Every structure is written in structure tokens, then in C-alpha cells.
A and B are shown apart, each in its own frame.
Chain A
Amino acid sequence: MNHNINPVPLSGLYKVRPFFTPGVIILTLIALNGLVFVALRFIFGIGYVTNLSNEYPWGIWIGIDVATGVALAAGGFTTAALGHIMHREEYHSIVRPALLTAMLGYTFVALGVVIDIGRWYYVWHPLIYWNPNSALFEVGICVMIYLTVLYIEFLPIVTERFMGRVNFPKFLKFLNKPVEWLLEKLDKGLSKTMFIFIIAGVVLSTLHQSSLGTLMIIAGEKMHPLWQTPVLPLLFFLSAVSVGFPMVIFESVIASKSFGLKPEEKILKKLGNMVAPILLIYLAFKIGDMFIRETFHYLFELNIHSIMFLIEVIVGVIVPLFMFLSRKAIKSLTITFWASVLVIFGIVINRFNNFIVAYHPPYSFKPYIPSIGEISVTIGFVALLILLYRAFVMFFPIISVQPKNNAQIITANNYEVLNEK
């Protein structure tokens, strides 16, 4: 057995520290502020909270919450492909954190869709009313199925947490045995069939990550030529793959810092090692597409489009590419970390550009600038996601700890002792 893989709930480590650290309190406030605007949206309508209009029907709720959310949750399927399909066991320790991010990420994507669509109570309609011509239909169906797959993939973590520990209080005690039996059956069934869901997850992700790019193609001339291209689906897919590992690296380092653990340097650096080739392929297609469509001249018009495009490509792709390629990345996790941050930044800007900056309605009376309400909701959702992530890793066995490297860390066995008291 590989000793790296030893996921434990981290709450055992928190005997000394409270759940509500100052950071957590700030995040809670940001989340609550966002939820206030969500409530206002449901009471008074979308127009009350947002700056959306007939000219700009989609804003940051679609551009950031949904489109960027899906891209940043790509770590789920890229690590599943690496860990399970390529069967590289040394990476198994990062599969669970990435799965959690994907599960929470997609849950918030779904929430983002629900608050953005006018008739949120019909969000399930695509299940029964089909329009196979629509790229959005494909994205919708894939995301719905993939979200279910993610929940199924997460179930073994739940059964692992509770199996042999079911302990209902007093009058519910009679439930202990049947629930235990149910968990055991579930665990057995899942471990036999999990491969079906893991492969399905990778296929579904490939499909909707690319179809998300098809979305804006139908906007035709409304989209600035720097971004409007028939290869958008491919660019979206490649960029999603390229941000998968950086996202895992980013989270892993942040989570380790926040919980006082030692980051798994070797594995993270190895992951970082795989980013450069993918980035390079993405960049090649992006530049190649510009050559073929002869859109270079738009870069010399100094305006918001050329500037945003250059930021996206130079800061978000080329600089991190060189950082990942440099020999320093082998020695220092810091370089890998900051390169990952830049890749993530690049993808966020890319999705923002595609859905917001590039969109130019033929008749526009004033430009779209997201309202305080829209920004509050978007930031609030991010805060809520971080809080949930923290709660999940404290309660469920997700993050692996390396016992011998750090004396303070309580191993799985110790944890159980603590928990029983």
C-alpha cells in the first residue's frame, strides 16, 4: 500500500482551534451579503438586482458563476482520468480533494443557473423538452447528469465516514443496524460499479466543457472576431484541461496552509510538470486560429478588446507556460504554485472575455457593467463554496495527511480515539 493515501477528516486536528477563525467569519459575512441579494432577486425579479437588459441578456452570473465555475471544476475529471483511467496510484491522494471541488463547483454552477433563469422552477424542463440543435441543451443535460455522477462518486467517502460508526441517539437507536447494513450494501455495490461512473464523468466533462464553447458561436457577428471562431469548442476544452491540475495545485497548497499541514510537494510538482504541454497545445491552437482567420490586426487597435485579449494570452498562458517550463519549477513549489495561479487567472479572464467583453449587441445604448447585486452574489457564492469546502474536509475523509513528516498531525487511528471521547 502507498502510505501517501491516508485521507482523514481534519476536524480531529481542530481540538485546539475553533471552526470560526477570523477568515471564516469574514467569508460568512460575504456569503450572507450575497444571499440577501439572492433573496431580493427571487422576490422582485432579475431586473431588480442585476444590470441585465434586452441588449445584454447574459451577465457575470452566466459568464463567471456558470462558465468559469465549470472550467475551474475541471480538476475533477482530469484527476479522475489520471488517477483512475491511467491508473496512476501515486496521484490517488489528490483525486478526493479534486472530486470535492468538482462536486461543490458544479453544485454552485447549478445554483448560478437557477438564480439566473427567469423561471427557475422549470430548471428541469430540458429533461423532458428536448432541442438537440441547441448547444445550451447539451450543456444543460450534460451538467445535470454529471452533477449526479459527481454525487455518486462522492458517496463512497460518505459510506467510509459512517460505516461502523453509526450511532443514533436514544430513541432512534433501533435504526443503527439497518442503516449500517444499508451503508455496507451501498459501499459494496458502489465499489463494484464505480468504474462506470468514473468513465461517464470523463466523457460527460469532455462533452460539456467543449459545448460551453459552442454556446457563443450562434451569437455570430455579435461577438468580437478575436474570440468568435468555429474552433471555440476545442479551445474551451483544451483550456479546461489545462486549468484542471493548476486548480488542484492551488487548492492543495491553500488548504495545507490553512490547516497547518505539509503540502504534498512531490505530487503537486509532478502534476505541475504535466501542465506545460497542455498549455502549449492550447496556445498553439489559439494562435493558429488567429493566423487562419487573420485576426491579428485587431490586436493593434488599442481598445478594451485587444487589451483584454493580450492579458488573457500573455499573463494567463504564456507567462505561466514559461514558469512551468523553467528548471526552477522542479526545485520550488512556490514557482509551481504561482504559475498555477496565473493559469487560473487566465481562464477566468478568458471566460469573462468570451461571455462579457466580446459580446457586442448591434444596438447598445449603454455598456453592461455588473451591478453591486450581481457582484455580491458572485462573490458570496465563492465564499460559500470555500466555507463548504472547509466544512467537508473537516467532516469527511478527503485530504491525506503524511504522518511521519509532521509531529503535530494526528493520524487516522488517533483521530478515531479523539472522536470517540
Chain B
Amino acid sequence: MDRRNFLIKTIGIGAAATLGNTNESVATPINVLSEDRMGVLVDTTVCVGCRNCEWACRNSHNIPTPPLEDYKNRSVFKEFRRPKEYSYTVVNEFSNPQNPLLPIDVKFQCMHCDKPACVSACIVGSIDKLPNGSVVWNSEKCIGCRYCMVACPFQIPAFEYLTPIEPSIRKCDFCIERTKEGKLPACVEICPVEALIYGKRSEIIKIARDKIKRNPQRYIKHIYGEYEVSGTSWIYISSREFDKIGFPKLSNKHAPGVSEAIQHGIFAYFVPPVLFYSMLGTLMWINKRKKELDVEEESNES
């Protein structure tokens, strides 16, 4: 199967995953990992740093943007940039020790974790992991506490600090509005060199492994996001160690694990708090009685 066909086929699967699962939400409820969740494989050895994805992202999310031509300016690569409120994705450039003429360009955005820390942390549950893999923030419930930002291991959610009323948490939403309609995410669609491959996560991992196997000189043996924080929907392959091209070094355990275990331990069906309450009540009653008994005894003696 060539790549073009694969892409076309996977759009169909992606749309089915989104639509099908929203229809039967009982079978695959929100925040339960679906087998059919989608993902993107980013091949950093293919990316040329044209930054068209940055433009397409802004454009499709109705964020004001300079014209596409302006994105040809490569001087932005002088500084390391991060996704923020009004740019959900950015491309950074890193030097390539093997071939200085071919720098490594790395697109970065929300990784759409399989076990997202932000979803676990959110005080009101306003971030969801959808069946198609997207981690999406909803406006209605959000109180703007920014705990998702504290929790995110990739430091992705951004906040509108200068908006006094109704500030939002802003981050890549995996183009949920587009994928619902069966379209590709904007960045994947515009990428002129096919550095981004959209497909079922299980499929793109196979492709990534295959690529590495067939071209062992070109790639290091590490698929970033396959196991990091127990898996992300966006996965990366590269010619250079990932901590050298702007990725945080993370363990394979998912971020919410420990804190959720503690939370559920303390609150196991409310048994510990209720037990504690009754224990204190008993203690209080005994102590009060003891005092009364003492008083009684004293008055009897005298």
C-alpha cells in the first residue's frame, strides 16, 4: 500500500472512529481508550521546516495570521519557540551533527496522551480524551484554575492571561471539528512533504517501526511517544536523540497514575472518611462521658 492510498483509507477510519463512537457513546464512553484511536506519525527526517502547518493551524482555528508567504522567513528558527495561546503548533530547527547542511526541523503541538494528565487533573472535568484520540478542552465547565498546565508533562496548555472575562485554556484540539467531517487535521493536510502521517495509532506505530527497520542508518531506534507517559497519539521518529531536539525526557509511567491511586485510596467508596468520622464520634462520646462520670463521683464523695 503506498502512502497516498493509506492516507485516503485512514481518513475514512478516522471519521468512522469519531462519528461512530459519538453515536454509540455507551459502548465507548469518553475518557476510555478506544482501540481505533487515531494518531499522527511525525518523521522529523522528512520535515523541511516550511511552517505551512503553522499557517494552516491558525487558519482553520480562526486565529488571525499573516499570509502564508510570510512563513517562508526562516529567521524565526534562531530562537526556540513553544506553542502558546494563539499558535497551537510551532516548528523549531535543530542542528544536525551528521550533516550540518540538513538541520532537523521538529513540529511540536499537544501530544494527545493516551492517559492525559490534564484530563485527570482538571477540577471540573472540562478536558476529555475522545474516542478518536483527541484531548479536547471544553469551555462551559472551565474555571480557569490552570491545574491542567501544572499537570501537563509537555507544558502544552496555554492560558489567556490578559483576558479579564472568560479567559480560555488554548491548545491543539487535533482538529476535532475537521476530523468529525471526515477531513484530515489541517497541518497533516497541508504538509507538502508528507512528514505527517495520520492514521490509526496502532497502524502508524507499525509504519514507524517499519521505517526504522528499513533505514537503520537514517533513524535512531526510538519512537518517541510510543511508550513515553504510557503512550501519546502523536509519535515521532528522528535521526537524533530526542532530548537533543527539544523533547522532555519522560518515564513510561503515565502522569496521573500515582495521584489517582492516592485519591482513590483515600476515598475508596467513602469508606475511610466515614470510618474516621465514626471513630472520632465514638472518641468524643467516651471522653465526654468520662468527664461526666468524674463529676458524678466527686459530688458523691463530697
Q: Interface residues, chain A, CB within 8 Å of chain B?
A: 41-48, 50, 52-55, 57-58, 81, 84-87, 89, 113, 116-120, 122-123, 125-126, 129-138, 140, 195, 198-200, 202-203, 206-207, 210-211, 214-222, 230, 233, 359, 361-363
Interchain CB contact under 8 A, B267 and A218:
no
Residues in B with CB closer than 8 Å to A44 are 162, 164
Return A192 CB to nearest CB of chain B, in Å.
14
Return A208 CB to nearest CB of chain B, in Å.
10
Known contacts: A54-B158, A136-B147. The answer to whether A87 contacts B288 by CB under 8 A is yes
Point out the residue from B123, B159, B267 that lies within 8 Å of A118, measured CB to CB.
B159
Sample (14) of A-B pairs whose CB atoms are under 8 Å apart: A50-B161, A52-B161, A54-B155, A57-B150, A58-B146, A58-B150, A129-B126, A132-B263, A137-B123, A137-B124, A140-B123, A214-B262, A222-B150, A361-B155
In the assembly, what is the distance between CA of A219 and CA of B124, in Å? 18
In the assembly, what is the distance between CA of A86 and CA of B287, in Å? 6
> How many residue pairs, one in A and one in B, have C-beta atoms under 8 Å apart?
188
Interchain CB contact under 8 A, A54 and B84:
yes
Interchain CB contact under 8 A, B164 and A221:
no
B273 interface residue per 8 A CB criterion: yes
Among residues of B, the one whose C-beta sits closest to the C-beta of A124 is: B143
In the assembly, what is the distance between CA of A126 and CA of B251, in Å? 31
In the assembly, what is the distance between CA of A230 and CA of B260, in Å? 11
B266 interface residue per 8 A CB criterion: yes
Say which one of B14-22, B56-64, B114-122, B184-192 lies at the interface with A.
Answer: B114-122
Give residues of chain B (213-257) contacting chain A, Cβ–Cβ below 8 Å: 248-251, 255-256
In the assembly, what is the distance between CA of A353 and CA of B179, in Å? 44
Give residues of chain B (110-160) contacting chain A, Cβ–Cβ below 8 Å: 117, 119-126, 141-147, 149-151, 153-155, 157-160
In the assembly, what is the distance between CA of A42 and CA of B120, in Å? 29
Q: Interface residues, chain B, CB within 8 Å of chain A?
A: 80, 82, 84-85, 117, 119-126, 141-147, 149-151, 153-155, 157-164, 166-167, 248-251, 255-256, 258-260, 262-264, 266-267, 273, 276-277, 280-281, 283-284, 287-288, 290-291
In the assembly, what is the distance between CA of A70 and CA of B166, in Å? 27
Interchain CB contact under 8 A, B143 and A118:
yes
Residues in B with CB closer than 8 Å to A89 are 291
Interchain CB contact under 8 A, B143 and A122:
yes
In the assembly, what is the distance between CA of A221 and CA of B264, in Å? 22
Among residues of B, the one whose C-beta sits closest to the C-beta of A362 is: B248
